[in-house]
Amino acid sequence: MMASKDELTVPKEDLADAWQRMLPERLHGGDKAEVRADGIDDRTLRVHIKTAGHQMLEFDFAVKYVDSREIDIQLTDVEKDGQSVDERTDIMQDLILDYRRHLHETAQALHHYTHS
């Protein structure tokens, strides 16, 4: 079996910078995002999103590039006012689904950058 030629070749810091510029354009007004390269895996980004308003919710995601186009998103933490919360409620699941969609939209918007 041949190895895939469709591997991500963008340096991780450059990729994190591109995501940092692109993701806020896709979030709801007032939501804030911080994107950084993972310290261990060159294909993974760490995304921290703070919701706007009085909810004081914060979401952490690991976004891993499977190849130059496809991403795998894992929720790693949800906090409210600094305390972990149960992400299994319907309201939380809706928010998580919404943010996952924004992460996929960001990856799609960066296809020209990640797919050579």
> pLDDT tens across 50-82, in order?
998 878 899 999 999 999 989 999 999 999 988
pLDDT class of 5 with cuts at 50, 70, 90: low
Beta-carbon contacts of residue 26 (< 8 Å; ≥ 6 apart): 102, 105, 106, 109
43-55: average pLDDT: 92
pLDDT class of 3 with cuts at 50, 70, 90: very low
The least confident of 1-10, 23-32, 38-47, 63-72 is 1-10
* CATH 3.30.310 corresponds to the domain 12-110: yes
The residue extents of the domains of the chain are 12-110
Q: What is the pLDDT of residues 18-28, one digit of tens each?
A: 999 999 999 98
Write down the pTM of the prediction.
0.92
26-33: average pLDDT: 93
pLDDT attached to residue 8: 87
Give me 97's structure tokens: 């689904």
- CA atoms within a 13 Å half-sphere pointing along the CA-CB vector of 29: 0
Task: Inform me whether the pLDDT recorded for 2 exceeds 50.
Answer: no
